[in-house]
Amino acid sequence: MATTKKFWTWAELNAKVRKDQDLQEEEFIDADEMVGYANEAIDHCETLVNTLYKDYFLAEPYVFPLVAGTDKYAMPPKIYADAVRRALHVDGSNVYTMHRVRDWHKFEIYTYDRVNNNSNLYSYFLSNDDPGEVKLLVTPVPTTTPDVHVWYIRQANRFVLDSNGDAIVYATCTCAPITFTAVEPGVIGNNISLVFDGVDDVDTVVNAWNAANPTNTVGFTGGPGATVITPAQTISLVNGGSDILDIPEAHNYVMQFMKIETMFKESGGVPTPRIELAQGKLKGYQDQLEGTLAARTPDAENEIELDYTHYQEHT
């Protein structure tokens, strides 16, 4: 019989931990602390997931066009570390894998391609000029403008709370007095950028965005549509996410980790027999998670199906 995994929400995780720890009426652990414990546990689980089953968080391709004369390009916004699985050159029917230059010859290859830029067969490697700004470096410098489809591993979902302690789902941004909010829930709203030139009013800019992006629209509250935002600026929506733990196999680990952190807070950071017992239980949940991930079948495309036709012909 088929089974469906339960995706625990932040509200459910938080409520169960507080109930199990008899913290419903306690205020010495606030919402920000509790969500911090949960996100730290998710950090641990994400590392296990990406070590044991690398395509668990395989995302749909991040698509961008090459620009003639430009060789550095931003990575997907929600990528895990620099986990690019594949980059494809797509120009009509001309599709090929862009080879990732990995060995020590990449420096010579890159320099040679810049000096002798006579090929449209692109490859790439990663550069890290600035902290937190890994770039995809295309070589040779593009002279054509195909699309690049980057298949990548995304980050696990983390919880972000609003002032009421509820998980934020819709991306938002406030430019007083107007608050802009994505219509669709989730990280897609983080891609909304509204360009105000100091002349067009809010209605004009929002309507133009919604017409160009019918699957990722935006609304606003707090002021009339005739408002003109000055000075000229770009307003980008942020904090769109999800209120679910998207590693359903890890819910026991996450809650147990949260419980242990609350115990340490109660004990003033002093280990106790109760904490040691809880840590043993946490280790059991970690072993269970590792076993579940290790048992999943990787799609490595390295198995050949056996040919039984010879036996079938003689039966």
What are the residues whose beta carbons fall under 8 Å from the beta carbon of 64, sequence distance 6 or more? 73, 74, 147, 148, 150
Give the C-alpha distances (Å, rounded to integers) separating 232 from 194, 198, 226. 11, 5, 16
pLDDT score recorded for residue 303: 52
pLDDT score recorded for residue 113: 73
Percent of the chain exceeding pLDDT 70 equals 91
What integer is the mean pLDDT of 234-241? Answer: 88
Domain containing 180 equals 172-236
Token pair 């000029």 in the structure block, residue: 129
Inside any domain, residue 163: no
Looking at the fold, whether 91 and 150 belong to one and the same domain comes out as: yes
Inside any domain, residue 312: no
Give the C-alpha distances (Å, rounded to integers) separating 246 from 56, 57, 62, 184. 10, 9, 20, 18
The 10s digit of each residue's pLDDT in 282-315 is: 999 999 999 999 887 555 555 545 554 544 445 4
Q: How confident is the model at residue 219 (pLDDT cuts 50, 70, 90)?
A: very high
pLDDT score recorded for residue 129: 84
Looking at the fold, whether 150 and 68 belong to one and the same domain comes out as: yes
Looking at the fold, whether 179 and 264 belong to one and the same domain comes out as: no
Looking at the fold, whether 45 and 110 belong to one and the same domain comes out as: no
Quickly list H helices, the chain. 10-20, 31-52, 106-115, 202-212, 251-266, 273-295, 309-313
Domain count across the chain: 3
Looking at the fold, whether 88 and 135 belong to one and the same domain comes out as: yes
For residue 161, the one-letter residue type is: L
The 10s digit of each residue's pLDDT in 51-73 is: 999 899 999 999 999 999 999 99
DSSP 188: G
Inside any domain, residue 304: no
Inside any domain, residue 188: yes
The 10s digit of each residue's pLDDT in 203-217 is: 999 999 999 999 999
The 10s digit of each residue's pLDDT in 96-105 is: 999 988 776 7
DSSP 250: G
Looking at the fold, whether 277 and 263 belong to one and the same domain comes out as: yes
For residue 293, the one-letter residue type is: L
What integer is the mean pLDDT of 261-281? Answer: 96
Give the C-alpha distances (Å, rounded to integers) separating 222 from 94, 254, 264. 49, 38, 43
Burial class (CB in 10 A: 0-12, 13-18, 19+), 255: buried
Residue that finishes a domain, picked among 218, 236, 254: 236
Average pLDDT over all residues of the chain = 88
d(CA 240, CA 163): 15
Region of poorest pLDDT, from 60-64, 86-90, 234-238, 239-243: 239-243
Indicate whether 107 pLDDT > 80: no
Q: Which residue has the higher pLDDT, 286 or 186?
A: 286
Predicted TM-score of the model (pTM)? 0.76
Indicate whether 149 pLDDT > 90: yes
Residue that finishes a domain, picked among 236, 257, 273: 236
Residue that finishes a domain, picked among 124, 154, 184: 154
pLDDT score recorded for residue 188: 86
What integer is the mean pLDDT of 262-291? Answer: 96
pLDDT score recorded for residue 118: 65
